[in-house]
Structure 1
Amino acid sequence: MPMPVQILPIVSLLLSTFFLMAGAGLMGILLPVRGSIEGWSSYQIGAFGTSYAIAFTLGCFVMPLIVRRAGHVRSFSSLAALLAISILLCAIVINPIAWIFFRAIAGFALAGTYMVVESWLNERVTNESRGTIFSVYMIVTMAAMMGGQYVMPLSRPELAIPFMLGAILFAMAVIPTALSQAPSPKPLTAVKIDLPLIFRNSPVAFIGVLLAGVLSGAWNNMAPVFGQKAGLSTTEIATLVVAAMAGGIVFQVPLGRISDRVDRRYVMSAAGLIGVAGATAGVYLADAGALMLFVVAFVLGGIIYPTYSLAVAHANDYAADEDFVKISSGLLILYGVGTMIGPLYAAYLMETFGPGGIFQSIGTAAALYAAYAFYRTYRRVALPAEDRPDFQTTPLARTQTPTSFALDPRADVTPGADEADTSEPVPAR
Structure 2
Amino acid sequence: MFRNLLPISALLLSSALLLFAGGTNGLILPVRGTAEGFDAFSLGLLGTGWAVGYVAGCLLMPMLVSRVGHIRSFTVMAALAAVAILASLIFLTPTAWVPLRALSGLCFAGAAMIVESWLSERSDASNRGRIFGTYTMVNLVASTAGQMSLTLAPTDGHLFFVLGAIFYALALVPVAITSSASPKPLVKVRLDLRGLWGNSPVAVVAIFLVGVSNSAFGTLAAVYAGQIGLSLNSVALFASIPILAGAVAQMPVGYLSDRMDRRKVLVGIAALALVADLAFIVVSPQGTPANLVLVALFGASIFSMYPVIVAHANDHAEEGSFIQTSGGLLLVFGLGSIIGPLVAGLGMSSVGVSGLFITTVGAHVLMIAYALLRITMRAPVALEDKGAFVVAPPGRATTPETAAFASGPDVDTDSQAVGSVAGQT
TM above 0.5: yes
What aligned pairs does 1:4-153 form with structure 2 within 5 A after superposition?
4-153=2-151
TM-score (norm 2): 0.95
Structure 1: how far apart are the matches of 2:189 and 2:262?
Answer: 28
Aligned pair in 2 of structure 1 residues 382, 220: CA closer, same or farther (>3 Å)?
Answer: same
Q: Tell me the alpha carbon deviations over residues 1-49 of structure 1, each in whole angstroms, 9 at most, x when there is no partner.
A: xx22211110100000001111111111110111111111111100000
1:321/1:411 contact within 8 Å kept: no
**Partner of 1:388 in structure 2?**
386
**Partner of 1:339 in structure 2?**
337
Residue 156 of structure 1 deviates from its aligned partner by 1.7
Structure 1: how far apart are the matches of 2:34 and 2:196?
Answer: 39
Residue 413 of structure 1 deviates from its aligned partner by 4.8
Aligned pair in 2 of structure 1 residues 28, 395: CA closer, same or farther (>3 Å)?
Answer: same
* Length, aligned pairs only: 419
**Partner of 2:244 in structure 1?**
246
Gaps of 5+ in 2: 420-425
Structure 1: how far apart are the matches of 2:148 and 2:266?
Answer: 31
1:322/1:413 contact within 8 Å kept: no
Structure 2: how far apart are the matches of 1:46 and 1:381?
Answer: 39
Q: Tell me the alpha carbon deviations over residues 195-234 of structure 1, each in whole angstroms, 9 at most, x when there is no partner.
A: 2111111111111110111111110000011111112121
1:264/1:314 contact within 8 Å kept: yes
**Partner of 1:274 in structure 2?**
272
Amino acid at match of 2:41: Y
**Partner of 2:195 in structure 1?**
197
Residue 247 of structure 1 deviates from its aligned partner by 1.9
**Partner of 2:253 in structure 1?**
255
TM-score (norm 1): 0.94
**What secondary structure, in the 3-state scheme, does the structure 2 residue paired with 1:97 have?**
helix
Residue 363 of structure 1 deviates from its aligned partner by 1.6
**What secondary structure, in the 3-state scheme, does the structure 2 residue paired with 1:392 have?**
coil
**Partner of 1:314 in structure 2?**
312
1:48/1:103 contact within 8 Å kept: yes
2:44/2:341 contact within 8 Å kept: yes
**Partner of 1:361 in structure 2?**
359
**What secondary structure, in the 3-state scheme, does the structure 1 residue paired with 2:320 have?**
helix
What aligned pairs does 1:376-415 form with structure 2 within 5 A after superposition?
376-408=374-406, 410-411=407-408, 413-414=410-411
Percent identity at matched positions?
Answer: 37
Note if 1:416 corresponds to 2:413.
yes
Residue 138 of structure 1 deviates from its aligned partner by 1.2
1:22/1:169 contact within 8 Å kept: yes
Gaps of 5+ in 1: 423-429
Residue 120 of structure 1 deviates from its aligned partner by 1.1
1:279/1:300 contact within 8 Å kept: yes
**What secondary structure, in the 3-state scheme, does the structure 2 residue paired with 1:250 have?**
helix
Q: Tell me the alpha carbon deviations over residues 312-344 of structure 1, each in whole angstroms, 9 at most, x when there is no partner.
A: 111111122311000000001111111111101
**Partner of 2:422 in structure 1?**
none
Amino acid at match of 2:281: V
Q: Tell me the alpha carbon deviations over residues 84-130 of structure 1, each in whole angstroms, 9 at most, x when there is no partner.
A: 11111111111111001111111111111111111111221112222
Q: Tell me the alpha carbon deviations over residues 58-82 of structure 1, each in whole angstroms, 9 at most, x when there is no partner.
A: 1111111111222111111121011
**Partner of 2:325 in structure 1?**
327
Structure 1: how far apart are the matches of 2:395 and 2:323?
Answer: 15
Aligned pair in 2 of structure 1 residues 222, 397: CA closer, same or farther (>3 Å)?
Answer: closer
Structure 2: how far apart are the matches of 1:420 and 1:52?
Answer: 24
1:56/1:110 contact within 8 Å kept: yes
Q: CA RMSD in A?
A: 1.6
**Partner of 1:427 in structure 2?**
none
1:73/1:177 contact within 8 Å kept: yes
**Partner of 1:175 in structure 2?**
173
Residue 364 of structure 1 deviates from its aligned partner by 1.6
Deviates more, 1:246-255 or 1:218-227: 246-255
Structure 2: how far apart are the matches of 1:285 and 1:91?
Answer: 37
Structure 1: how far apart are the matches of 2:282 and 2:146?
Answer: 30
